[in-house]
Amino acid sequence: MKIIKIKYLIISCVILIIEITIALFVNDQFIRPIFGDYLASILVFYLFATFLKTDLNKIAILSLLISYTIEFLQYIHILELLHLDKIKILNILLGNSFSWTDMLAYTLGIMSVVLIHNYKKI
């Protein structure tokens, strides 16, 4: 029987709503490009934590690797290579330009959840 962790599901939904709000209404140089990526890595973490029954540090590593992989796919212009660059929703979900700042934002996002969850254990 699969167990869904409701607390993590609620956190995921709240972060998703914040991310959608940022995408629709914010067009600046910090909140959308940097804080949005920071939150995106946290969203990935909580989505996995909702459904996976494993150590949260392992989920954090998985989440960070997924975030890095998406950024790498932007670096190689995967949507253009697959001729999918005209599909707007894919551009929104995957992004279309590589940035080291994004990598830092993902790292800080995952570091934040690791610190929060490990601090709670003390």
- Other residues' Cβ atoms within 10 Å of the Cβ of residue 64: 21
Q: Name the percent of the chain in helix, strand, coil, to the closest 5.
A: 75, 0, 25
Q: For 54-106, write each residue's pLDDT tens digit.
A: 999 999 999 999 999 999 999 999 999 999 999 988 887 888 889 999 999 99
Residue 121 is predicted with a pLDDT of 66
How far apart are the C-alpha atoms of 48 and 31, rounded to whole Å?
24
How far apart are the C-alpha atoms of 77 and 73, rounded to whole Å?
6
The pTM (predicted TM-score) of the whole model is 0.89
Residue 66 is predicted with a pLDDT of 96
Residue 47 is predicted with a pLDDT of 97
How far apart are the C-alpha atoms of 118 and 99, rounded to whole Å?
29
Give helix 36-51 / helix 56-75 axis angle, nearest 10°. Answer: 130
Residue 41 has pLDDT above 90, yes or no: yes
How far apart are the C-alpha atoms of 86 and 78, rounded to whole Å?
12
Residue 122 is predicted with a pLDDT of 56
User: CA neighbours within 13 Å on the CB side: how many for 60?
Assistant: 15
Q: For 4-33, write each residue's pLDDT tens digit.
A: 999 999 999 999 999 999 988 998 999 988
